[in-house]
Structure 1
Amino acid sequence: MNTKLNFDQQDGNLVYVKPVAVADLPQEVQEKAEGLTQIFAVHNAEGEQLALVADKNLAFELARQHDMSPMTVH
């Protein structure tokens, strides 16, 4: 995997996708997680949480549908 990226061409719509343990979330969010142990958070460049979704693919699709460029945070 040797994909070259030109970060100078990013349009400022970069978002970060990271896994989050459901147990680390507020109780009201845990109750809505429907038995999941991990979900994914989408954050903007300033660290503001934009969304919580059930899986990584959904997080990437959601970002792209809103003209954002998603990247995984490890």
Structure 2
Amino acid sequence: MKSSNPTNGPADASQVALSLRELSVADWQRFGAQEIAYIRPVVVNGVHAMAIHAADGTPIGAAPNAELAIAAILQHEMAPALVH
């Protein structure tokens, strides 16, 4: 996800991450449930994994690690976002 700040050049990743954390559930829904998926760490039956959710919170999958979760999101032509 690229963003630019007209006075300071491109936004760094921490600014983008902070902006995403401040979105409400309604904001995520408007942002594009069909275009963005977020991942978050979960524990399932004692095993660490990454849950994959559509922007509106709908569970759409899981993966054993973040790299595979992001690869699955990209394969489905969605933009990934990490939520923790």
- TM-score relative to the length of structure 2: 0.59
Paired residue type of 2:67: N
Structure 1 residue 37 corresponds to structure 2 residue 47: yes
Q: Among residues 46, 59, 80, which one is paired with 1:49 in the alignment?
A: 59
Instruction: Name segments (4+ residues, structure 1) moved above 6 Å.
Output: none
- Find 1:61's aligned residue among 71, 79, 83: 71
Q: Confirm or deny that 1:18 pairs with 2:32.
A: no
Partner of 2:81: 71
Structure 2 residues without counterparts, runs of 5 or longer:
1-10, 17-30
What is the Cα-based RMSD across aligned positions, in Å? Answer: 2.5
Structure 1 unaligned segments of length 5 or more: list them. Answer: 6-10, 23-29, 31-35
Give the percent of matched residue pairs that are identical in Structure 1 and Structure 2. Answer: 30
What is the total number of aligned residue pairs between the two structures?
Answer: 58
The one-letter amino acid paired with 2:47 is T
CA distance in 1, matches of 2:67, 2:60: 16
Higher relative contact order (CA 8 A, sep 6+): 1
